Structure 1
Amino acid sequence: MRASKYHINTLKEAPSDAEVVSHKLMTRAGMIRKLAGGIYTYMPLGLRVIRKVEAIVREEMQAAGAIELLMPVVQPAELWMESGRWEQYGPELLRIKDRHQRDFVLQPTSEEVITDIARAEIHSWRQLPLNFFHIQTKFRDERRPRFGVMRGREFTMKDAYSFDRDEAGAQASYDIMYQAYMRIFQRLGLEFRAVAADTGSIGGSRSHEFQVIADTGEDLLVYNPESDYAANIELAEAVALASERPPARDALERAPTPGAAKCEDVAALLKLPLTRTVKSIVLATDGDEGAQIWLLMLRGDHELNEIKAGKVPGLDQGFRFATEAEIIEHFGCEPGYLGPIGTARPVRVIADRTVANMSDFVCGANARDFHYTGVNWGRDVPEPERVADLRNVVAGDPAPDGKGTLAIQRGIEVGHVFFLGTKYSKALNATFLDENGKPAVMQMGCYGIGITRIVGAAIEQNHDERGIVWPMALAPFQVVVCPVGWGKSEAVRSAATELYEALLAQGVEAVLDDRDLRPGSMFADWELVGVPLRVTIGDRGLKDGVVEVQARRDAEAAKVPAGEALGEVLARMRTLA
């Protein structure tokens, strides 16, 4: 590719609405242009990167036995009504009507459509297992699209869906996809981690996220450096910080705590460690007989994990935070001074594992400006109705596998695999005839990769003050040949063209910058775009018989004999691959 015949339009400044590095750099490098909130045109350079991601994903999907098809972007509402997600999915599902006033959706995902295909096409156990995949545009009507391609409304995803005769087969299909994903992200040249995850709105009972490690990531990843344990913080198990409850030593006392509505303030006022305090979180569940109030108790320095709370029996059908009126009705006090002792009306008390093993703790006295000290289970307050894992883990917590302590890092989710079981096949009656000629419901798995999100995540992980630093597998061009004085020197033009054509002959994705720019502007463009290798050819160097080769991450260029430039570039490409 000759730069003069390509569309390269870099910008000195990022748009004012660009919040993260990938959004800024993709815009400045001319890879995307904003059309509307969360909707982008992928310009030629950006599209080249996307196509590279797609190619690797497609190759590994096919190698794992998945079969490609293409499902439509627009889907009839009837299928979503049949699965129950027409009402459940929420406002992110963009609902539209055609000219006949029939309801359709712009697909955010394709579980319903693929299950409809399976129930029409798969009739016998002899046809199973099957795994279909496609790479297609998705649309989710995000309330606040942000971070460029990281959280846009329109994006490209790879979906795969497996169908099996039984759960054992489905688990085997899941494992095949898991390993395929490991190969995909290894080939992309990204630092990543596979972590156990919550299944979320898509459903199912087994799930792993594939997270690209980046300091700007929204997700917190919990892992054990001493073992293979890794989980999203939503799912990471928090063990009790004491194996058993110490005996009570202190008497129960009602202590004045004027103006101290937070555990941190209470601990400071009473000159006690924050770890001696217990915070009260009040939830409500709605039923035919009115609201049921729940008191969740966590240590003062811990934070509630709402995903875990949503798995507590009684809260697992949906909960909300109690209103101030409900809190006053049940506790006789405004928030900030709440506790389980002497509530105005009965509440259901759930204690976090760590709190259940605490003694002599501090909690609210259900009276403004007062807290109890020396509180003990059994003696001062009934044992909690239930003990559950309610909190987010923190770095240094004991690992649930018993092998050391936990560490936390940030990541960007770019892939997710789910074991669905019969969630969709049962709802849509996707059955087959088993070996005995009897109908059986298919077992399903689904496997997604955010194609365009990978591009943004790769930049978040690989950049510096000058621009993008692409892994070789993702770069729009692998090598750029930069002739200094293109318009003035026939020797430079000849040497640059010869090397460029030799690289093409070797199958290298090379670009020759024949725009006759000043060196500073030319180098700045390609550093911003992030091409992994640059070869600089100038009159002065040619007189000495050398050219300069520099990898994008190198601080300085290396001088190489002009006749050895091709071999040097090919060798460097192998080391960078």
Structure 2
Amino acid sequence: MKASQSFLATLKEAPSDAEVVSHKLMVRAGLIRKLSAGIYNYLPLGLKVIRKVENIIREEMNRAGAIELLMPMIQPAELWQETGRWEKMGPELLRIKDRHERDFLIQPTSEEVITDLARNEIKSYKQLPINFYQIQTKFRDERRPRFGIMRGREFSMKDAYSFDRDVEGLKKSYQIMFDAYTKIFQRMGLKFRAVTADNGAIGGSGSQEFHVIADTGEDAIVYCPSSDYAANLEAAVSLPLLGSRAAAQQSMQKVVTPTQTNCLEVANFLNIPIETTVKSLLFAVDQEKGPAKLFMLLLRGDHDLNEVKASKVPGMAESRFATEAEIKQACNAPAGYLGPVGIAPDVKVVADHTVANMSDFVCGANLAGHHLTGVNWGRDLPEPLVMDLRNAVIGDPSPDGKGVVDICRGIEVGHVFQLGTRYSEAMGCTYLDQQGKSQPMVMGCYGIGVTRLLGAAIEQGHDERGIIWPISMAPFEVVICPMNYDKSEQVKAAADQLHEQLIAAGIDVILDDRGERPGAMFADWELIGAPFRVVIGERGLVDAQVEFKGRTDAESQNISITEIKDKVIAAVNSAKQLVS
């Protein structure tokens, strides 16, 4: 292809609302243009990258035995009402009405539609297992779209759904998809990790996320450098930091802390380690009748609450922070001085594993301006319900017992779920087994954020000059930059010949025939991120040489004009082998 036949729309400056590197570079490189908040046009170069991503995904999904289909973007509300998600999903679900005032939605995902298809088309165990997938536009009405396509409202996703006879079959289908995902991200040349994750709104019994490792990632990944353990922070197991509870050494005392309302302030004021303090958080769960049910969650003073783990406390799935009135009812003290000693008997006390093993600890006294020291379980207050409540921190023991954990940042680009019968039972999606008995199909679902992958790859690969694409994702593998293409017949002939030779060899090459000045031309292609560049000029042709340079090379090489074709082909093939 020649640049004059394409559409290059590079910019020197990024828009003022671009917050992250990928957003800035995608706009500047002419990959996207904003239409509305979280909604983008994909310009030709951006679409070219998307198609390359889709091709890799499609090849690996087909190789794994999945069958491609296409489901509508617009879905009837009735299906989502069957599973209860029409009511449960928040404002991210964009609901619409047709001219007959019937309720529809723009799909954020397709569990209901594929389950409806399966219950109508699959009747016998002989038709199972089966796995359907699509690459389709999705819409989620994000409250605050940001980070360009990384947190947009409209996006492209590959979603797949497996149907099996039983749980053992599901496990096999799940592993096949996990392995396919691993191969997909390897072929894309991305540094990634698969991590244990929370199931969230999808439901099911188990799931794993695939994260592209990037310092700007939204998600924290807890991993063990000396083992294979990895989990999203939301799902990472936090072991107790005390192996057992020591015997009490102090008597409980009430001490004055006149203005100290958090654990760090209290520790500094009393000149004690913060690790001896306990923070108390009061939550409320509204009831259909009567007052809200109250829960007090306890964490060590230097630890943070993991809200996903808190939601798994029995009875706390739909909780909120307690109001001032509820705090007064339970503790008769202002926030900042709350503690588990002497609270109302109907408040459920839940302690993190580490807190449950603490002795002689410090907590709020339920009295303004006061805290308690020397507090001990069993003697001064009843034993609590004990659960994992906190976020993991660097240096925690790894849950697999093989070292300590570290934390890095990642961008979620894929998620695989073992759904089980969550949707098939709700929607009556059954098959007849070998005994002629009706059984619910056992489902899995598997998603990849197609357009998000572009942003994630750029967050992982860029420098001050622009994008550094893995070769499998780059809009072009090679750019030919001729000097004075429109003025020198010798340069034009050499450039055209190499262009034709590389096309014939199957290289994805573009010839920049725009007649731009060298500096502007080089800047454009470094911004766009072409992995390899060939510069052809009259001065070099005098010695029958051209310049060859990789995107991340410090210096260019002078290559004979007779050898440049083979040099380019070898370089491209070598780069592809590294990610295959």
TM-score, scaled relative to structure 1: 0.99
Shift of 1:320: 1.3
Aligned 8 A contact 1:548 1:560 in 2: yes
Q: Distance in 1 between matches of 2:17 and 2:174?
A: 40
Aligned to 1:114: 114
Q: Distance in 2 between matches of 1:330 and 1:479?
A: 69
Secondary structure of the structure 2 residue equivalent to 1:65: coil
Corresponding letter in the other structure for 2:430: T
Aligned to 1:409: 408
Aligned to 2:192: 192
Shift of 1:342: 2.0
Corresponding letter in the other structure for 2:111: E
Q: Distance in 2 between matches of 1:550 and 1:324?
A: 66
1:395 is the counterpart of 2:394? yes
Aligned 8 A contact 1:26 1:32 in 2: yes
Between 39-48 and 255-264, the greater mean CA deviation after superposition:
255-264
Q: Distance in 2 between matches of 1:299 and 1:319?
A: 21
Secondary structure of the structure 1 residue equivalent to 2:222: strand
RMSD over equivalenced CA pairs, Å: 0.9
Q: Distance in 1 between matches of 2:272 and 2:558?
A: 65
Aligned to 1:451: 450
Shift of 1:575: 2.6
Aligned to 1:310: 311
Shift of 1:164: 0.5
Corresponding letter in the other structure for 1:158: K
Q: Distance in 2 between matches of 1:138 and 1:291?
A: 37
Aligned to 2:31: 31
Corresponding letter in the other structure for 1:126: K
Corresponding letter in the other structure for 1:530: G
Corresponding letter in the other structure for 1:42: Y
Q: Distance in 1 between matches of 2:92 and 2:43?
A: 26
Q: Distance in 1 between matches of 2:561 and 2:248?
A: 82
Q: Distance in 1 between matches of 2:231 and 2:160?
A: 23
Secondary structure of the structure 1 residue equivalent to 2:366: strand
Aligned to 1:521: 520
1:127 is the counterpart of 2:145? no
Secondary structure of the structure 1 residue equivalent to 2:475: coil
1:499-526 Cα deviation digits (max 9, x unpaired): 1111101000000001111100000000
Aligned to 2:360: 360
Corresponding letter in the other structure for 1:280: S
1:543-564 Cα deviation digits (max 9, x unpaired): 1221111111112111111211
Secondary structure of the structure 2 residue equivalent to 1:290: coil
Aligned 8 A contact 1:332 1:344 in 2: no
Corresponding letter in the other structure for 2:455: G
Shift of 1:289: 3.4
Secondary structure of the structure 2 residue equivalent to 1:326: helix
Corresponding letter in the other structure for 2:310: A
Corresponding letter in the other structure for 1:490: E
Q: Distance in 2 between matches of 1:247 and 1:92?
A: 51
Aligned to 1:210: 210
1:140 is the counterpart of 2:140? yes
Q: Distance in 2 between matches of 1:360 and 1:562?
A: 80
Aligned to 2:536: 537
1:271 is the counterpart of 2:275? no
Aligned 8 A contact 1:550 1:556 in 2: yes
Q: Distance in 1 between matches of 2:155 and 2:344?
A: 52
Q: Distance in 2 between matches of 1:360 and 1:572?
A: 66
Q: Distance in 2 between matches of 1:221 and 1:81?
A: 35
Shift of 1:129: 0.4
Aligned to 1:497: 496
Corresponding letter in the other structure for 1:107: Q
Aligned to 2:149: 149
Q: Distance in 1 between matches of 2:252 and 2:539?
A: 86
Aligned identity (percent) is 63
1:280 is the counterpart of 2:285? no
Aligned 8 A contact 1:69 1:132 in 2: yes
Shift of 1:327: 0.5
Q: Distance in 1 between matches of 2:208 and 2:527?
A: 34
Q: Distance in 2 between matches of 1:50 and 1:180?
A: 19
Q: Distance in 2 between matches of 1:198 and 1:484?
A: 55
TM-score, scaled relative to structure 2: 0.98
Q: Distance in 1 between matches of 2:10 and 2:313?
A: 53
Shift of 1:171: 1.0
1:423-461 Cα deviation digits (max 9, x unpaired): 000011001110000111100000000000001100010
Shift of 1:315: 1.7
Shift of 1:344: 4.9
Aligned 8 A contact 1:218 1:412 in 2: yes
Between 450-459 and 243-252, the greater mean CA deviation after superposition:
243-252
1:243-301 Cα deviation digits (max 9, x unpaired): 10111112211111111101111111111111111100111112233211111000001
1:115-157 Cα deviation digits (max 9, x unpaired): 0000000000000001000000000111111111101111000
Q: Distance in 2 between matches of 1:553 and 1:246?
A: 57
Segments of 5+ residues of structure 1 without an aligned counterpart are none
Q: Distance in 2 between matches of 1:343 and 1:196?
A: 37
Secondary structure of the structure 2 residue equivalent to 1:563: coil
Q: Distance in 2 between matches of 1:18 and 1:132?
A: 37
Corresponding letter in the other structure for 2:474: A
Shift of 1:488: 2.4
1:172-215 Cα deviation digits (max 9, x unpaired): 10110000000000001000000010000000011000000000
Aligned to 1:290: 291
Q: Distance in 1 between matches of 2:341 and 2:180?
A: 54
Shift of 1:5: 1.6
1:476 is the counterpart of 2:463? no
Aligned 8 A contact 1:74 1:105 in 2: yes
Q: Distance in 1 between matches of 2:342 and 2:364?
A: 10
1:326 is the counterpart of 2:326? yes
Shift of 1:34: 0.6
Corresponding letter in the other structure for 1:416: H
1:69 is the counterpart of 2:74? no
Secondary structure of the structure 2 residue equivalent to 1:399: coil
Q: Distance in 2 between matches of 1:289 and 1:435?
A: 51
Secondary structure of the structure 1 residue equivalent to 2:496: helix
Shift of 1:494: 1.1
Aligned 8 A contact 1:331 1:345 in 2: no
Aligned 8 A contact 1:329 1:345 in 2: no
Q: Distance in 2 between matches of 1:393 and 1:195?
A: 14
Aligned 8 A contact 1:161 1:447 in 2: yes
Aligned to 1:259: 259
Aligned to 2:508: 509
Q: Distance in 2 between matches of 1:546 and 1:556?
A: 16
Secondary structure of the structure 2 residue equivalent to 1:222: strand
Q: How many residues align?
A: 575
Aligned to 2:221: 221
Q: Distance in 1 between matches of 2:83 and 2:346?
A: 38
Corresponding letter in the other structure for 1:521: A
Shift of 1:345: 5.4
Between 201-210 and 279-288, the greater mean CA deviation after superposition:
279-288
Shift of 1:367: 1.0
Pairs within 5 Å for 1:42-121: 42-121=42-121
Shift of 1:569: 1.0
Secondary structure of the structure 1 residue equivalent to 2:415: strand
